[in-house]
Amino acid sequence: MDEMLAKLETESEIKKLDKLITEWIGQNRVIQEGNIIYVKLRKVDDEREFLLKVSCGEEFPLVPADYIFVNPETKNDDSTEHWPAYNQNAFKTGENPRWVCIAGTLGYKNHHTDHKFNPKINSLSQTVFHIFREINGWIRNE
């Protein structure tokens, strides 16, 4: 994929993500800093806030972005305190490095070699939506 096309596709994905996050949670919750996107996600029942860092590598969108939770002050993964603690199936905080085990993430692709990543199915907004649902336990309650 040529660099300009990849950049346009990335910008389009970020706009879709911002629109959806605004509808789900509220405004000003998606921040872009170059190839890194920060998404402020809220756990509904206790209003706890998490900062999801989405790192889009040079091969994005053909290769999935890397998704991790970070300290809102340092923007680094410096403690499990900033990760959801209640679902070790989706949020691998007991491993080093920590990673998100949800289809559409680089961590998932790296740990599940049989997974065929499709950027149209595993878009930024779709993947963040699945992470948001896992934070809130909605997948297990259906």
Tokens of 110: 């790296």
Q: What is the pLDDT of residue 142?
A: 42
Q: Which CATH class is domain 3-133?
A: alpha beta
In this structure, the number of other CB atoms found within 10 A of the CB of residue 111 comes to 13
Share of the chain above pLDDT 70, in %: 96
State the pTM of this model: 0.88
CA–CA–CA angle 74, 81, 139 (5° rounding)? 115
Summary mean pLDDT of the chain: 88
What average pLDDT does this structure show over 119-123? 86
Residue 85 pLDDT > 90, yes or no? no
Domain boundaries along the sequence of the chain: 3-133
Give the H or E element holding residue 50.
Answer: strand 49-55
Phi and psi of 32, rounded to 5°?
-105, 130
Instruction: Dump pLDDT digits (tens) for 13-67.
Output: 888 888 888 887 888 999 999 899 999 999 888 889 999 999 999 888 889 999 9
